[in-house]
Amino acid sequence: MKKAMSNVDVAAIVAELQTRIAGGFFGKAYQSSGDAIWLTIQAREGRLDIILEAGRRAHVTRKERVVGRTPPQFPAMLRSRLSGGRIVSVEQHDFDRVMEICVERSDGRYRLVVELFPKGNMLLLDDEMRIILPLRPMSFRDRKLIAGEQYVYHAGAEDPRSVSIERLEAILHSSDADLVRTLVRNLNMGGTYGEEVCLRAGVDKNTPATALSEEEIARVHSALRDVFDIREIRPQIVYRDGEPFDVIPFPLEVYKGLEARSFERFSDALDEFFVAEPEMPKLSALERRLELQRAAIDELRAKETQLASMGDFIYQRYSEIDSILKAIAGARERGLSYTDIWERIQSSGKSAVKSLDYSGEMIVEIDGVTLELNAGLTVPQNAGRYYERAKEAAKKAAGAEEALRRTEDLLQRGEERRRSPVLKRRHKPRWFERFRWFYSSDDFLVIGGRDADGNEEIYLKYLEKRDLALHTDYPGAPLTVIKTEGREVPERTVEEAAQFAVSYSNLWREGVASGDCYVVRGDQVTKTPEHGEFLRKGAFVVRGERRYLRDVPLGVALAIADGSLIGGPVSAVRSKSSEAIELEPGEYMPDDLAKMIYRQLLEICEDRRYLKAIASPDKIVAFLPPGGSRIRRFDVRKIGV
């Protein structure tokens, strides 16, 4: 059964919406669940509801809208920027699965982009194609879908409507596959439309692409125009064995003979075809816990098997991996750094090594299998790393299975009953809680001053020679210290501490997306100024070489873990809790945002006393950066024990 709209579907729905809503006015936006956004449009024919579901569908709907009382951040932003605006146009980008709604108001022109390809997103852009807000912040190697970044379109295939016959001939003659696969891989079409082109051209779809004659190529070229030149919309839902199988904007030869139901408008067919997922019966707290525990066990066991098999694969390809490691080791002996080696690998062309960082960590791909290796270790040691991770997963799975047995016993004895979370006895504040602080993903304590007095106290009392210190060249940054306790600090912890340092500096107040940070040893930080100079309170001098981390992204998250509120860099917080509130620079001052977060938490917590004890507004404020902020992602579904 079809899961999402094709590029042909997008072309058809864009043509319909351009006729129906262009010139109309944007009303409100709602978010029902997941990635589904509902828009109300005041059009010539009256009020219309549009449903936009990233990665799946976009059309006018007649279904009943079910939404919560408080709109999440993305629909709230759409209301703020688009409500009352006139819809200028509805467009499709390059015959791809991307729909754009252009809205004009007195304060400017905006573009709502809906990506309908797998793992697509939804974004609000300004007139310069800069992202105001994405539905889901995402980063890829070649494009960042985060606020403040320039929007870059997803790289699509060649447009089958405009391909010349010479270009088509070149594509076919350079292919090593049959006709239908060649068309699907090189031109922007799915398998169904690839078969339709072959059928209308009268050429067997399994014919090798290189074997086509000039006359057959000409027929294929003509069929491309015939299929994709959408002139008349005659929507249908196609049925197979009595069940809906596909929804199409016009009849296709490949479905000839199958049962089909016709519709007046394509939106009506899409609305009928893409039904909402049926609501699952409500589960008790223990039943929900059982589901989560079983899913976690399955995931851990699968991870254990996968990691162990990766270790086995390393031994199976011992000689290939060993030759790679020895080649890099030889280059190191000649005085080359890992950075130099990586530059040479890149310039040499094709290589099994896909990345290599300054510490020797690298990604190697062999026969489609991606391995994380360290160039400074032997083959057995690299395999051992995977085996150790497999053991950790097995240990966690065993613990989860024991917890599952206890939950099953509770259900069997019928001891489930509704009760408020048990408040823990208020603990004595720990010494570092008067500063900014967090525990890294690797469980290193990281602290930073809240002001000049805090920076001064950290330097005088808590900065040891064996620690690492981080700071920025920008004013208002905390003196950030990683308490090493004599342990080697992983790069992940350094990166998290760097994000902590830039996020709690004045860079956040200025609303930028990233900043630079440097890291030094604790013994490089001193309060002794150069002769004739003076250091104000909270300032210090760094002597010796600094290691700079460039373009560190700003990001702060909050979460409730083990009955306490925690905050800090996003990855560190999410390592302690799968549910978190992610923040970005924005328009709300700390006190206002803290109250806003507290109100949203109240809606998912049954016990107000419990929430106030662990996450009151004044506790939330303590973790907020200076200046304005806003919620980028609210990913907390429940609060309780």
* β-bridge pairing 514-521 and 541-542: unpaired
Torsion, Cα 617 620 622 628, to 10 degrees, reads: -90
Q: Are 544 and 524 in contact (CB under 8 A)?
A: yes
Instruction: Specify whether 545 is located in the same domain as 483.
Output: yes
Helix (H, G, I), strand (E, B), or coil: what is residue 17?
A: helix
Neighbours of 360 (CB within 10 A): 17
Q: Which of 553, 578, 600 is the last residue of a domain?
A: 553
The average confidence (pLDDT) of the chain is 88
Q: Which of 183, 202, 228 is the last residue of a domain?
A: 228
Predicted local confidence at residue 327, as pLDDT: 92
Give the chain's domain count: 5
* Residue 418 within a domain: no
Instruction: Specify whether 566 is located in the same domain as 609.
Output: yes
CATH of the domain at 175: 1.10.8.50
* Residue 573 within a domain: yes
Tell me how far apart the alpha carbons of residues 313 and 307 are, in angstroms, rounded to a whole number: 10
User: According to DSSP H, which parts of 213-316 are helical?
Assistant: 214-228, 266-273, 285-316
Q: H or E stretch including 488?
A: none
Predicted local confidence at residue 278, as pLDDT: 46
CA-wise closest residue to 67 among 26, 35, 27, 30: 30
| Residue 61, strand partner residues | 49
In the 8-state DSSP scheme, what is residue 5? -
Q: Give the whole-number percent of the chain exceeding pLDDT 70.
A: 93
Instruction: Specify whether 98 is located in the same domain as 85.
Output: yes
Instruction: Specify whether 563 is located in the same domain as 541.
Output: no
Over residues 509-538, mean pLDDT: 83
Of the pLDDT bands very low, low, confident and very high (cuts 50, 70, 90), residue 532 is low
What sign results for the dihedral spanned by CA atoms 337, 339, 345, 348? negative
Does the pTM of the predicted model rise above 0.75? Answer: no
Of the pLDDT bands very low, low, confident and very high (cuts 50, 70, 90), residue 424 is very low
- State phi, psi for 49 to the nearest 5 degrees: -100, 130
Q: Are 324 and 424 in contact (CB under 8 A)?
A: no
pLDDT digits (tens, 9 = 90+) for 30-79: 987 667 899 999 999 999 999 999 989 999 998 887 665 567 889 989 99
CA-wise closest residue to 538 among 455, 615, 599, 594: 455
Predicted local confidence at residue 427, as pLDDT: 55
Instruction: Specify whether 28 is located in the same domain as 71.
Output: yes
* Residue 405 within a domain: no
Instruction: Specify whether 447 is located in the same domain as 478.
Output: yes
Segment among 62-71, 128-137, 138-147 with least mean pLDDT: 62-71
Instruction: Specify whether 124 is located in the same domain as 36.
Output: yes
Predicted local confidence at residue 247, as pLDDT: 95
Q: Which of 535, 553, 571 is the last residue of a domain?
A: 553
pLDDT digits (tens, 9 = 90+) for 430-462: 889 989 999 999 999 999 999 888 988 998 889
Instruction: Specify whether 499 is located in the same domain as 458.
Output: yes
CATH of the domain at 75: 2.30.310.10
Of the pLDDT bands very low, low, confident and very high (cuts 50, 70, 90), residue 475 is confident
* Residue 101 within a domain: yes
Note down the domain range covering 499.
431-553
pLDDT at residue 410 tops 90: no
pLDDT at residue 420 tops 50: no
Instruction: Specify whether 504 is located in the same domain as 598.
Output: no
Who has greater pLDDT, 565 or 282? 565
Predicted local confidence at residue 142, as pLDDT: 75
Predicted local confidence at residue 417, as pLDDT: 42
Instruction: Specify whether 540 is located in the same domain as 439.
Output: yes
Tell me how far apart the alpha carbons of residues 316 and 341 are, in angstroms, rounded to a whole number: 26
Most confident of 156-165, 198-207, 400-409, 601-610: 198-207
Predicted local confidence at residue 635, as pLDDT: 87
Instruction: Specify whether 81 is located in the same domain as 189.
Output: no
Who has greater pLDDT, 537 or 76? 76
- Most distant CA pair in the chain, distance: 93
- What value, to the nearest 5°, has the Cα angle with vertex 292 and ends 607 and 410? 70
Who has greater pLDDT, 362 or 539? 362
Query: Residue 637 corresponds to which tokens in the numbers above?
Result: 């579904």
Who has greater pLDDT, 414 or 157? 157
Of the pLDDT bands very low, low, confident and very high (cuts 50, 70, 90), residue 641 is very low
* Residue 380 within a domain: yes
Tell me how far apart the alpha carbons of residues 258 and 260 are, in angstroms, rounded to a whole number: 6
CA-wise closest residue to 443 among 393, 481, 489: 489
Q: Give the whole-number percent of the chain exceeding pLDDT 90.
A: 58
* Residue 366 within a domain: yes
Predicted local confidence at residue 140, as pLDDT: 75
* Residue 186 within a domain: yes
Of the pLDDT bands very low, low, confident and very high (cuts 50, 70, 90), residue 276 is low
pLDDT digits (tens, 9 = 90+) for 618-635: 999 999 998 899 999 998
| Residue 111, strand partner residues | 102, 125
* Residue 481 within a domain: yes
Of the pLDDT bands very low, low, confident and very high (cuts 50, 70, 90), residue 537 is confident
pLDDT at residue 277 tops 60: no
Instruction: Specify whether 54 is located in the same domain as 106.
Output: yes
Torsion, Cα 392 396 399 400, to 10 degrees, reads: -160
pLDDT at residue 320 tops 60: yes
Q: H or E stretch including 58?
A: strand 57-61
Q: Are 229 and 161 in contact (CB under 8 A)?
A: yes
